[in-house]
Structure formats: C-alpha cells, structure tokens
Structure 1
C-alpha cells in the first residue's frame, strides 16, 4: 500500500499559539505544499470562520498537481439525522475531493463530553461516513483520542473503527490527541488494530506533548500505518503536532520510504512557512535548522573537514541545508581557517596571523563579544590583524541627547558626530526615533557624500543582550545588528557597559564591512 503525507498546517497548525494565516496565506502555503509533493492538504473547517470559507472558495478555482484538498469537520450531532446536520452539509458544500472528520473513540468522551450513548456514537460515525461517501467524497476518518480510549476500553475503541469501515471509510486515522503515550504503546496498539482490520488503510496523527510526536508516528508506521498526519515546523495546539519537516527525512533517508520527489526543497519549505506565519525560524530544528549542521568545538571542526560524516548523520545538502562552522572561545585553528577561507581569506595552518586571530577571538569572547551570528565583525577583525583593514573615518567625538517634555508630551532624540574623513573634519547633527536611530542617521549623513553606495544599507534586526545580569544596571551589554543591501545580509556585534557605545560599535562595523567589501569587489 502506497504511503501518503497528510498536512494539517492550515487547520490544526493554526491552533498553535501565535500562528495565524489569512485565506491568501493559506492558498500560498497550499501551493508550496503541492509543489513539494504532499498528498493531502487539510484546508480548514468550513463554516467555522470567514477565512476558511474564503479559502475553500478560492481553492475551487486553483489547480493542484499533486495534492488533494481536504475539508475538516466532525460527525453529525447526536439525535439529528445526518442529512439535516448543518455542519455536515457545510462540510460537503466546501466541494473538496476529500472529507476528513473526527469522531469519539474514548468511551469517557462519549458519555461525559458528548453526553450520548455508546451505540448512538457509533451510529454518528457510520452515518457521517456513509453520507459523505454517497456524495462522492474520499473519506478519512480521524479517530480522536483513540489510544487513550483503547487503553481504557479496547473493545469499544475498536468498535468505533468498525463503524467507520461499515460506512465505507477510505482511511482510519488513529489520533494520539493528548500526546501522552510512549512509542512502545503506540506500536503495540497499532499492531492490534492491524490484526483486527487487516485490509483497512491506517493512518497516524500524533501530538508532541511528551516530546515524542515524531517518535510515536514512526513507531506507528513501523507497526503498519501508511499515512502520517502532521504540520510543517510542528505547529499546533499546546506543544504542537508531529513535525513533518522532521519525520519526512527520517522516513525517506532512514526508513527507505519514498514520500516526496525532491527532499532538497525541505529547508526552503520550512523557512517559507515560518516567513508567511511571521515567526522566527527555529535554529535548532532537526534537519532544517540553521544549527542542524553547525560545528563549534575545535576537535569537531577538525574532524568534519577531513570527513563530514564523522559528525554529520546525513549530508546537509540532502535536505537543502548546509554545514556551518562557528567561531567562538571554543575554537581551534581549524575553526579559524575554515571560517577565514569561507570569507575569502586564503590562510593555511601555522600561517602568520592565524594564532593572532584565534587569540583575539578568545579574548574578545571573554569580554562578551559573540561572533556566531556576527560574520561581518569577524571579517573586520581578521582584516585588522592581517593589516588589510582601511578605516572609513576617524571618530573625534559623538554625543546623543534624549529630551522628554512632561507637560507638552513630546520627545526628541538627537545625535551629533565629529569625525575626520580623508583629512577633512566633518560635523553632522540628526534627529531620530531613539538615540541609536539618531546616531545611524547622523553617521549616514556624514558618509553619504563620499560613499553614496551606503544608501543601499538598511538595518533589518537589532538585538540587545545583558551579558552579566548579576551586575544590575552596571552590567555589560551586547548588541547584535543585522543589515542588508537588498541582496546579502550580514551581522555585526558591539559590547560595552553603555548600550549606546555597544550600538555605535555594531553600526560602524556594519558600514565598515560593506565599504571594505565594496572596495575589494
């Protein structure tokens, strides 16, 4: 039986805290999932909100070459004929080729939550499947709380699956809704289901409350499940759903189950969905995170330079990622050489300057600097030690002011800069939204007449970290700035007891880096 991927990012994923998509966002993501090769895309619950209604209306006019769009809902209500239930009728009105709905498998939920009888619950499942099948839909039945239900009353839980099959369900999906089971429990119960219903197609839907969403899904697949439901980047209610960006490469690379045509697009897809959700990409995500193939310790770097698989379980390019060598106080010469060569400096082990660079990094990291995300500042450090640095200007003095008028209710931030540039004294004054922005504006005003290309630079991120918080307001501050010229991004760092000085250092590094690169291009 062919294995299938079922994505519920657009429905179950949006139940996660901080995850929101417009109807057009959903459509864009659906097309990306289709391009990637996902077999089923659950678009939402039609009728539950205007966005989902609009999505299904839009999707009707779209072409998907790989994926089938599914509408999600629930069984008919107790005591109501299925053809009279508005929710079921709305489910069919979405006009999708696939209908997925959930029903109760846990007897406690049947009697205490639905407040109906065991027989009526089975009838609700059977009737809803049959009604949707008679309407010409492919029907996927999600057996909610199946594993908890099985552990309490195994025969009743199995009887609800039998009811779905009697109605003609195409797929029985066993849902680990509370996320509290262990892999051996999952494997055992899925095996029992497979024994009872040998000809049924079985899927698995897990949650990550115990940190085992992916592990539990893999256990179910080993026990006979042929469909996995999950979300991109593990979005979902509480701690999230089974993470498709983790389970897909495990299936394809570790278990030999071919699920998508081109796994090299996985990292790109993961970042795309985060971008649309306006959420930061998780750096430590397996396979797709920026740290997934990063190496910091000197012995590790030495080893991966000789043989990558000595510390990498797969080639990073297999999933569209890449190896990263970090520079820190844990670095050895191999880290410095690798990073320097990556930045365009052709250095060899034992070459003049390599030890100086390494010593400087260790000293500055001890002072609070961090170069892992500040490649531009690291490049400038190398240039200074190797004698290849050309200063843009010589600072004579800068001054910032912040004034707040309590009665009139206005604020003013102003910066003045005095500098020597090419033997000429320059003096500028500018206002800004805060002292750092005012400094940035004054610095640009002074430089742009000589270096008009700096107009391309924009600051796209600004982070402040208190290094030794036990010192209170006298603690050192680290400022990390990310800049871009619209094509490339670079990071710079500044450290000081004064947040303004730390910001100034990172600002100057950003412009210095850009201009030094521009001159050497």
Structure 2
C-alpha cells in the first residue's frame, strides 16, 4: 500500500492540491501498479474532502474503488458518515497499539477502547465499508506493553476486520526487533493479514521492511521518495528493489520501470527535493565518479551490482571531476562521438582534475570547451561567437535594458534592447543581431539556477539552460558570481554550438 497521499503529505511544508492528488493516485494504481493507496485522513478539511471525492469518483468508474483507503478515527458515526459522503469504501481505523498511548492520550481502559472500536467497525460494516485497523505506536507497545497488544489482538480477531496494520509510528525499531515482533504475531495469529508500516527516524526503514517481510508480514506501507513526518517513511523504490533482489519467495505487482517517473512527479508537485544520493531515484546513484570504477566497468563490469539503471528506466553516467581518471573521460567522449589521441586525452584529464580541485562542476556538455581550451584547437566546438562587451541596467520604475557588442565570425555587431529582466533584455538584443543575419535562435525551454549550500553572498552561481532546436534538446551551463553573467556565458556556449 502506498501512503504518499496520506502519511507522505504529513511531510513538513507539503500539501497537494485535489488535482495533484488525483494525478498521483492514477499513476500509482495504473502505471506503478501498487495494490492499494491510502489517500487522506477523514475530517481534515473541505479541500481534503473534495480531493477524496475526485479520486473515489475516478476509482469507482475504473474498477479501483476497493483499492482506495482513508484513515479514520474512533469517533462514533463521524468518520463513517464522512466516508459515505466522500464515496470511499475502505477505512483504516486509527486505534491505540500501546498501553502508554491508551492511558495518557485517551485516558481509557482497554475494555472501554475495545468497545468503542467494535462499535465503529460494526457501523462501517452496516454501511458497506470495509475496515482495516491501525495499532498506533505498536512497536513501543510490543517493547513495553506486549500483554496489552496481545489482549487487543485477541479482541480484533473476533471482529470483521480485513487487515491489521502494524506501524512503527516513531521509527524506533531495529531490524532484529522488526523481525521478532512481526514473526511472533504471524505465528500466533496464522489466519490474520498483517501489514507493516515503517518510519525512517534511524534510517532503518528499508532494513526493517526487509526483516518484516522475512518474518511473514503480508503487506507493506511505503511512500514515494520516503516522504512522511519527521525523517519520513520507508521509501517505495528502495523497498521494492530490496524485495525483488533479496526475498526470492515474495513477489509484488509494482513495475520498477515506473518508479523513477512517479518519483519525479511527486518531487515536482510537493517541492520536496530528492537528495542526489537517494538510492534508486537520486540523480547521482547511477553515476560513476572514480576513474578506477569506470575502468572496471569496461573490464567485465567489475563495479556493477544488481541495481542496474535500466531496471528503473534510467542510464548509467560517468561524472567528471578530480577523481575521474582517463576511463571516465573516455566514456563521455565516446557518447559525444569525439576521439582523442592518448597524449591529448592526458592533457584533457589533467585539466578536468584542476577544475575538480577548484570545486567546479564539470559536465559532459563542457567537454568540447575544455578540449578547445586545452588543445588550442577547434576540432570539437569552434569559438566563432564571442560576447565582447555589454552594459546591463536595472533602475526603479524603468524597464531593464542591455547594450550588447558581439563578434560573429570576425564581424562585430552592437545592439540595444529592453526586456522584462536583464537577461530577457540581453536575449532581445541578441535576437536583433541574429534577425539581421536571418538566423533563428533555439527556443529556451528551461532555465535553472543553483548556488552552493549555505547561500553566501560571494557564492558562485551556476545557470543551466535547456534549449530546443529542430526537435532536439541540449543544455549549456555558465558559472559566475553574477546570475545574469552566468546565463550570458551559458548563452554564448549555445551560440557556438549552433
């Protein structure tokens, strides 16, 4: 069960719109093919109610309504009535799984709690709603009040409940405990379907998932990108990869090829950025940086493991930096269709090492420029276009303007233009120059700006611009302490490429 839209939305600062929730729900069920999704908590807000209605209407029309679940509460008729109005058919009832929570939060006896839980389950059944039951704080319950947990489970097995959900609510379990606690319950109640719900406070979420499944857990609760409260939940992509590779007698319906797609969609909708080193879905996880690793890849795949990028619709990359070595650079040159002699390759390698020492980001797109700079040749990209000078103005209540001098194939042009910003004004001046030459510039399709962590005022600014020309996309990058200047450097690279 994916709970990105319920537990994952409890990530600090994250709130999905109704249309975003519907899009994610559709992708999870139809492409990623998770078995179930938990989409909301009952009674939270009017907006949440409308989102649930959108999803349940779509699910009802497409045969998924039994796979859409909502968190509800022990509140008499209130949650059940909310479910009926929202059109949901499966509720995950939040109840107390530890004596500590029961005593200090509800201030009730076990018998009182069981009676109230039973009443809600009966009401749901009467209204055609299936019930799963969460044992909140179950992990601490097993540690500190196991007698209560077993007493409660002895009651629940007499109820019309589909699944019992075992959350490590505070993310406190270690793998050994996850295995032992789940196994004890699976052995004691062999006819019951148990789900395990891991949190990641000690970065053990995926490990605990693996142990819970080995112990006989029948279901898992996971979130895209590991979203969730505090340190988040066990991540969907990592858990699926581990299960597929290390638990041979267990299968899931999840399509690995779709995991990266849903990861990027959720990243964009949530604004919750995926760390570059996040397993399976991070930008760097299929990138070899050390030259010795790239060399080993060429020699019988010495540095490959079972996590092949193609499984997840991705490709292996070879990063360029001070540890790159000749093999990394050769791999990138081959992708660009560039061949160098051993002597020239050695010079280029040395230059990339120097850039790495200065902490500059070196990309495959930079290679032609590094080659030209180091070898003083134009065999890769000839520098026929140079932005020689410019004046950027930005004044209150006046439109930004640029005066530009540019040399193209030895001919110098000057133009002046205004724009909505300094870079827009620069591009307008540039378009005037190229219009005179009857050349159509590529379309700018994406403009990304990055600065190093810490946000110091003297930090370098990296601008990465994506261009589109004749149906093909390419990127150029500029680096400077001034954002507009870094964009101009990236634009000059584009002009030479075309």
Query: TM-score, normalized by length of structure 2?
Result: 0.90
The offset of 1:436, in angstroms, is 4.1
Deviation string 1:2-37 (CA, Å, 9 cap, x unpaired) is xxxx01111111111232211111111111111221
2:321 to 304, 320, 328: 328
The offset of 1:91, in angstroms, is 2.5
1:41 aligns with 2:30: no
Question: Given that residues 402 and 412 in structure 1 are in contact (C-alpha distance below 8 angstroms), is that contact kept between their aligned partners in structure 2?
Answer: yes
1:129 aligns with 2:121: yes
Give the aligned partner of residue 72 of structure 1. Answer: 70
With over 3 angstroms needed to count, the CA separation of the structure-2 counterparts of 1:182 and 1:320, relative to structure 1, is same
| Cα distance in 2 for residues equivalent to 1:12 and 1:96 | 17
| Cα distance in 2 for residues equivalent to 1:358 and 1:424 | 34
Give the aligned partner of residue 339 of structure 1. Answer: 332
Deviation string 1:131-166 (CA, Å, 9 cap, x unpaired) is 323433332111110111222211112222222222
Give the aligned partner of residue 26 of structure 1. Answer: 21
Give the aligned partner of residue 506 of structure 1. Answer: 490
1:58 aligns with 2:54: yes
Q: Which runs of 5+ in 2 are unaligned?
A: none
| Cα distance in 2 for residues equivalent to 1:49 and 1:116 | 28
The offset of 1:105, in angstroms, is 1.4
The offset of 1:496, in angstroms, is 4.7
Counterparts of residues 238-253 of structure 1 (less than 5 Å): 238-253=230-245
The offset of 1:424, in angstroms, is 3.2
Question: Given that residues 483 and 510 in structure 1 are in contact (C-alpha distance below 8 angstroms), is that contact kept between their aligned partners in structure 2?
Answer: no
1:191 aligns with 2:189: no
The offset of 1:201, in angstroms, is 0.9
1:420 aligns with 2:443: no
Question: Given that residues 74 and 95 in structure 2 are in contact (C-alpha distance below 8 angstroms), is that contact kept between their aligned partners in structure 1?
Answer: no
The offset of 1:495, in angstroms, is 4.0
Aligned to 1:292, what secondary structure does the other structure show?
Answer: coil
With over 3 angstroms needed to count, the CA separation of the structure-2 counterparts of 1:69 and 1:303, relative to structure 1, is same
Question: Given that residues 101 and 141 in structure 1 are in contact (C-alpha distance below 8 angstroms), is that contact kept between their aligned partners in structure 2?
Answer: yes
1:206 to 198, 204, 207: 198
2:154 to 154, 157, 162: 162
1:378 aligns with 2:373: no
Deviation string 1:357-388 (CA, Å, 9 cap, x unpaired) is 212222333445311xx432223333564522
Give the aligned partner of residue 222 of structure 2. Answer: 230
1:439 aligns with 2:426: yes
Query: TM-score, normalized by length of structure 1?
Result: 0.86
| Cα distance in 2 for residues equivalent to 1:272 and 1:434 | 30
1:482 aligns with 2:465: yes
The offset of 1:345, in angstroms, is 1.7
With over 3 angstroms needed to count, the CA separation of the structure-2 counterparts of 1:211 and 1:228, relative to structure 1, is same
| Cα distance in 2 for residues equivalent to 1:493 and 1:466 | 19
Counterparts of residues 265-304 of structure 1 (less than 5 Å): 265-304=258-297
Question: Given that residues 92 and 99 in structure 1 are in contact (C-alpha distance below 8 angstroms), is that contact kept between their aligned partners in structure 2?
Answer: no
| Cα distance in 2 for residues equivalent to 1:72 and 1:335 | 49
The offset of 1:504, in angstroms, is 3.0
1:98 aligns with 2:96: no
Question: Given that residues 333 and 358 in structure 1 are in contact (C-alpha distance below 8 angstroms), is that contact kept between their aligned partners in structure 2?
Answer: yes
1:314 aligns with 2:313: no
1:462 aligns with 2:449: yes
The offset of 1:492, in angstroms, is 3.4
Question: Given that residues 293 and 312 in structure 1 are in contact (C-alpha distance below 8 angstroms), is that contact kept between their aligned partners in structure 2?
Answer: no
Deviation string 1:407-436 (CA, Å, 9 cap, x unpaired) is xxx355332111232443311122345544
The offset of 1:50, in angstroms, is 2.0
| Cα distance in 1 for residues equivalent to 2:29 and 2:488 | 46
The offset of 1:451, in angstroms, is 6.0
The offset of 1:261, in angstroms, is 5.5
With over 3 angstroms needed to count, the CA separation of the structure-2 counterparts of 1:428 and 1:464, relative to structure 1, is farther
Deviation string 1:259-315 (CA, Å, 9 cap, x unpaired) is 126322222222222233344343222112221111011101101122335243422
With over 3 angstroms needed to count, the CA separation of the structure-2 counterparts of 1:413 and 1:351, relative to structure 1, is same
With over 3 angstroms needed to count, the CA separation of the structure-2 counterparts of 1:294 and 1:140, relative to structure 1, is same
| Cα distance in 1 for residues equivalent to 2:298 and 2:308 | 13
Deviation string 1:333-359 (CA, Å, 9 cap, x unpaired) is 111110011122245xx5453223212
Aligned to 1:454, what secondary structure does the other structure show?
Answer: coil
| Cα distance in 2 for residues equivalent to 1:380 and 1:285 | 31
| Cα distance in 2 for residues equivalent to 1:483 and 1:343 | 17
Deviation string 1:426-454 (CA, Å, 9 cap, x unpaired) is 11122345544443443343334436331
Alignment: residue pair count: 490
| Cα distance in 1 for residues equivalent to 2:69 and 2:479 | 53
| Cα distance in 2 for residues equivalent to 1:403 and 1:325 | 44
| Cα distance in 1 for residues equivalent to 2:339 and 2:122 | 70
Q: Cα RMSD over matched residues?
A: 2.7
